[in-house]
Structure 1
Amino acid sequence: MSAPLLVAGVDSSTQNCKLLVVDAASGRIVRRASAPHPDGTAVAPGRWWDALIAATSGMLDGVAALSVAAQQHTAIFLDAHGESIRDAILWNDVRAADAGLALRAHWGRERWTTEIGLVPTGAHPVAKLRWLRDNEPGNAARLAHVLLPHDWLTWNLLARPAEATTDRSDASSTGYWSVPGSGYSSRAAELAFGRPIASPRVLGPRERAGTTRAGLVLGAGCGDNPAAALGLSAGPDEIILSVGTSMTATAVSASPLHDPDGVVDDMADATGRFLPIVTSLNGARVLVAVARLLSIDLDAFDELASLAAGDAEGLCLLPYLDGERHPPFPSSTGALLGVTRSNLRPENLARAAVLGVAAAAADSIAHLRRAGVTADRVTMIGGGSRSRSLRQAVATLTGLVVVHPRSEEYAAYGAARQAHWALTGRLPDWQRDDGSVTAPDPDASWRAEVLERHADHGARLFGG
């Protein structure tokens, strides 16, 4: 019997590098590995390369094709020789927040959303370019190229050819690639930096980036959120809520969605369609932080949260522990409000953390629906989706059914699916297991009060 055809996908995320090796015929995962990334919001990109090498070492025997998915918005700054001139600035670093505001003021919200598809924040590389120009003129003078992590890792796997490549999904996350126009905007890049910069060539979804010296076919690669949608074979009937280091709400769309308010970033997906997205900086780590405070593990935390009253007896945790991108509170901190002698109990604190994350998710989903997304269910993935209490709170606060697929590595799985596409010219129809389904609590009379509480407290404390 001949050996099965194998393909592989990498997810180079904020916290680690994950590898899945998949049977191309069935979609069955046959091998997996991971390696940690350093903490922090500025990281030497070589550390990501080291993690990729560690995760793939001895794991690619028999693999015919591989694609790399990675964290979006993170900017890697290179000189004319392709060497990094400083630590990469991650998506969740808030140092460029003022630069994003300056760019927004220069063109105005309407022009940004019409020409580019998003309004710049400190997360976007276009704002990081402005920050570099204004704060590190020596490094700015040396800058020749900007790559995102999936671009850079693919380029290194190919031994650094003369031309680097990217895909539509990651190009659309820069702030200087026009989603409506499907091409780079030299006007936006020069507005930010004052002079032209080199950008990688944009590949189509099924194109090959190249072939390694060992004969491994490399797919175009993509951002982690588009990779997750690809791994889920997501359709327009679902909103994907990914609760990991950050929290993103996305939905596949056949055409661009223009949000004049600029809350929804109109980005591209990994199939030739579009992937509007709302991003919050604070996700599962809010639950981790409160569990650590209570000296319990996450399973015990989840059980504790389920023992509290639905509204945590008025206790309100604003979950902006690392600043926040949406709502636009970059210099915010977390806050615990509504504290009384009677409600300050461990179960209410755990419940308040769950409600804080769920209320933020509900707000993001409401913005997607306002912008035209008509999905009737939420698919929750990421580490935070393991929390039963969070899944129930999201269902109740959104009024939508929540589906929790059994597998959680959908970004790496989507990258493997793309690798299959690049290798064979055919996008495989691998089946997914939707696992559990959670319906909204019909008796949650506190729903509107909780949503209003979080919105009002956030606006009052951090809305300026």
Structure 2
Amino acid sequence: MERHLVAGIDTSTQSCTVVLRRLEDGAFVAQGRAPHPATTPPRSEQDPRDWWQALTEALGQIASHLPSVAAISVGGQGHGLVILDGDDEPIRPAKLWNDTESAADAALLCEQLSAAEWATRTGSVPAPALTISKIAWTRAHVPDALRRAEHIMLPADYLGYRLSRHAVTERGGSSGTGYFNPFLNTWDHELAELAAPGLAWDRVLPKIITSDAVAGTVGRLRNLESLSGAVVGAGSGDNMTAALGLGIREGDTVISLGTSGTIYAVTDIGVKDATGAINGYADATGRFLPMITTLNAAKVTDFFRRMMGVDTGRFDALALAAEPGSAGVVVVPYLDGERTPNLPGATGQVQGLRSNTSPGQIARAAVEGVLCSLLDGQDLLRAAGTRMTGRLILTGGAARSRAYQQVLADLTGQPVYLSRLDEAAAAGAAVQATAALTGRSTEAVATDWAPELSLVATPQSGIDAVAVRSAYQQAAARVRKQAA
């Protein structure tokens, strides 16, 4: 049978999604999805074997297409710490990006080198999210895990390793570890040594390959025999593959609303932010992806929706019917601590409540709080020199919310575009698989396969966005002062 399909995997916090695209033109063919175990910070961990089980289940849902798959690649949740022993078994559960137990360990790393030095060498300053902080936590709390380590890798690398039996990585995903230099595209073993002295870093870390390179081929895997021989791409972080799937251009701004929130843009010059607010990541095309990440996005509106006992449509209607600024009600959305700003011990707050506050005003404030938090990040990105004058693109699980779409347009004064691509990260991983198979660059394939964008919201007149954002910033400042 002719192999005319490519597969992209998104192994996220919540689930594993596999998207099949036609090699000829990138057209969608089929998809499968299986859940991952739920987690809640401060301890947020998953067994990597559960990711593999979810992947095999998702592939099983589209089994009839697998003999036609010519190449496969993985986009994975960033920062997660996978430690394997000599039998390639996980030594302990993987600490995920939103695990905040390593806050104290991150602070100790920052005492060993200045923030400016960290940013110059890695594009980021250690915080609980970064892999290096999780390694430092492991050394302090489970030292035997590191003594037994034969491989240390990221979630996307782990699934790629199980598919191909080659331990490799690339610059996009690795730029979130805290011990990779995205400006030189090399491991920085000296930084890794600060987290866990004496480890054979040149042996345990994956080999770095280019983002469009071939990692290997799929071997004969139980229940996946029909995939044997398919080319395995390098894999990357899920935000990096999402950028490929969306086909974003320099100047575009992307806001992703999932469990977490991200705002990012593609640039030719990397950002080195010593404040630690901006992560100066690499992307999967040879450029950079400076990003602000928050821990709390769609989970915030999901929380308030559940408290109100309404579905998403009714929640959106309530929020849109309320006045901007919600009559002085402000939601500071730090429900599970926060990453930007770095406040792992913070909690969410609702300020300005009165006896006549309506459910709609609270719904509106929740949406505004999530978006104001991300737009504060956009201000920081612009101040760092990131050009954000192009399209404003909304993606992620909550991107189809009418409330998020309209409130974002109102707060920014810009039209908001939505991709018709439902699974951008998985679709972008398929772009990467195609590049590995054909020898074309990931950027070229992403450009050719860029999805059509739909205009979903335009700014309404008479909205005082400055007042809404100012009220949020004052409320957030009070919470930061309490949590500091």
Fold shared by both chains (TM-score > 0.5)? yes
Q: Does 1:415 align with 2:429?
A: yes
Q: For the residues of structure 2 that align with 1:259 and 1:317, how far apart are their CA atoms?
A: 28
Q: Aligned equivalents of 1:81 and 1:415: distance in 2? A: 28
Q: 1:61 aligns with which of 51, 67, 87?
A: 67
Identity %: 38
Partner of 1:361: 374
Are 1:177 and 2:183 an aligned pair?
no
**Offset of residue 265 of structure 1:** 0.7
CA distance in 2, matches of 1:209, 1:4: 19
Aligned partner (choices 256, 270, 275) of residue 270 of structure 2: 256
Aligned to 1:433: 452
Bigger shift: 253-262 or 234-243?
Answer: 253-262
Partner Cα separation in structure 2 for residue 81 and residue 331 of structure 1: 37
What letter corresponds to residue 69 of structure 2 in structure 1? Answer: V
SS in 2 for 1:218: strand
CA distance in 2, matches of 1:96, 1:450: 34
| C-alpha contact 1:361 1:394 (8 A) present in aligned 2 | no
Distance across 1 between alignment mates of 2:387 and 2:336: 31
Map 1:120-139 to 2 at 5 A: 120-139=126-145
Q: 2:90 aligns with which of 70, 84, 88?
A: 84
Q: Is it true that 1:345 corresponds to 2:358 in the alignment?
A: yes
**3-state DSSP of counterpart to 1:276:** strand
AA aligned to 1:30 is V
> Matched residues in 2 for 1:141 and 1:431: separation?
45
Specify whether residues 253 and 317 from structure 1 end up closer, same or farther in structure 2 by C-alpha distance, changes over 3 A only: same
Contact 2:278 2:381 in 1 (8 A): yes
Matched residue, 1:322: 336
1:186 maps to 189
Pick aligned residue for 1:70 from 76, 82, 95: 76
**Deviation digits for residues 387-430 of structure 1, max 9, x if unmatched?**
12112222222333321112220101101111111111124311
Q: Return the alpha-carbon distance in structure 1 between the equivalents of residues 455 and 292 of structure 2.
A: 24
Counterpart-to-counterpart distance in 2, 1:149 and 1:62: 26
Find the residue that maps to 1:60 and give its secondary structure: helix
Shift of 1:4: 7.3
DSSP 3-state at the match of 2:417:
strand
Q: Cα offset for 1:3?
A: 5.7
**8 Å CA contact retained: 1:362, 1:394:** no
* CA offsets 1:199-229 (integer angstroms, 9 cap, x no match): 1011112210001121111111111000000
2:296 is the counterpart of 1:282: yes
Rounded Cα–Cα distance in structure 2 between residues aligned with 1:204 and 1:398 = 36
The C-alpha deviation readout for 1:65-123, integer Å capped at 9, x for no partner, is 11111101111112244321110000001001111111112211111111211001101
Unaligned runs of 5+ in 1: none
Per the alignment, residue 50 of structure 2 pairs with 47
- The answer to whether the 8 Å contact 2:118/2:274 transfers is no
What are the equivalent positions in structure 2 for 1:18-37 lying under 5 Å apart? 18-37=17-36
List per-residue Cα deviations over 1:105-153 (Å, max 9, x = no partner). 2211111111211001101110011111112223233234211011000
Match of 1:96 in 2: 102
| d(CA) in 2 for partners of 1:133, 1:156 | 26
Q: CA deviation at 1:246?
A: 0.6
When residues 4 and 296 of structure 1 are mapped into structure 2, their CA distance, relative to the original with a 3 A threshold, is: same
Please name the residue that 2:285 is paired with.
271
Aligned residues: 458
- For 2:148 and 2:461, how far apart are their aligned partners in 1? 59
Matched residue SS, 2:208: strand
Residue identity matched to 2:473: A
**CA contact 1:405–1:436 (8 Å) conserved in 2:** no
Which residue, out of 124, 146, 151, partners 2:157? 151
Instruction: Label 1:459 to 1:195 Cα distance change in 2 as closer, same or farther (>3 A).
Output: farther
Which amino acid in structure 1 is aligned with residue 16 of structure 2?
A: C
- Give the RMSD, CA atoms, in angstroms: 1.5
Alignment partners' CA distance in 2, 1:23 and 1:180: 34
Counterpart selection for 2:383 from 370, 381, 388? 370
Instruction: Measure how far apart 1:313 and its partner are.
Output: 0.7
- Which residue number in structure 1 is paired with residue 223 of structure 2? none
Which range is displaced more, 6-15 or 427-436? 427-436
- The answer as to whether partners of 1:251 and 1:275 remain within 8 angstroms in 2 is yes
Match of 2:222 in 1: none
Q: Please tell me the residue identity of whatever aligns with 2:171.
A: R
The answer as to 2:449 corresponding to 1:450 is no
Contact 1:4 1:23 in 2 (8 A): no
CA contact (8 A) 1:10 1:17 kept: yes
Provide the rounded CA distance (Å) in 2 between the counterparts of 1:255 and 1:312.
40
Match status 1:460 vs 2:478: yes
